[in-house]
Amino acid sequence: MEIERILIPGDHSRIPAVLLQPAHPRGAAVILHGHGRSKEEQIGIGWRVAEAGVAACVIDYRGHGEHPLPLDFRAREDMAAAIRFCRRFGKVMAIGHSLGGRLALLSNADYRIAISPSLSRTYGERTQEMLKAMRSYRVRPPEIAALLAVQESLPIWKPGQDTGTR
């Protein structure tokens, strides 16, 4: 297996990623972290996916990890750029956790897997306080308003909905 740090060309920046590539990949997976997380925390999932013969591309979307841009509604564009990049390996799946899970569900990947996706467009007061205390210090900008604006900008996912062309 080949493992390398890469920068994926995006619409407004280059997206930091780790690519785990088996010798003969049968497709690819773009792996998306949750709010306040980073690609490094998803390497284990990427490793297991790559062991199964699928190239795994674990990204930092904007506002997180090594991504240079602040969190905003264009986080979805970062995921789309990673999916386009991974099409060279064949069919692409999007695998995401929490906010990354919602992004995965809204993607135009051939297959979508969401682990505990944040499906709501709003959060209660208690959840907002928990996010501020536990995760927001790792996001740029750290204000919870940035996350709320992103959540509000994302369409509501409905099972079976077509998310666009492949």
Total number of domains in the chain: 1
> What would the pLDDT profile of 38-89 be if each residue is shown by its tens digit?
999 999 999 999 999 999 999 999 999 999 999 999 999 999 999 999 999 9
Burial class, 71, CB count within 10 angstroms (exposed 0-12 / middle 13-18 / buried 19+):
buried
Buried b (16+ CB within 10 A) or exposed e, 61-70: bbbbbebebe
> What would the pLDDT profile of 113-123 be if each residue is shown by its tens digit?
999 998 887 88
Token pair in block for residue 30: 């773009």
Global pTM value: 0.92
Give the span between the Cα atoms of 55 and 144, in whole angstroms.
33
CB 10 within 8 A of CB 81: yes
Residue 165 in domain = no
Give the span between the Cα atoms of 94 and 21, in whole angstroms.
16
Q: Which domain holds residue 134?
A: 2-153
Residue 162 in domain = no
User: What CATH number is associated with residue 70?
Assistant: 3.40.50.1820
Residue 158 in domain = no
Residue 118 in domain = yes
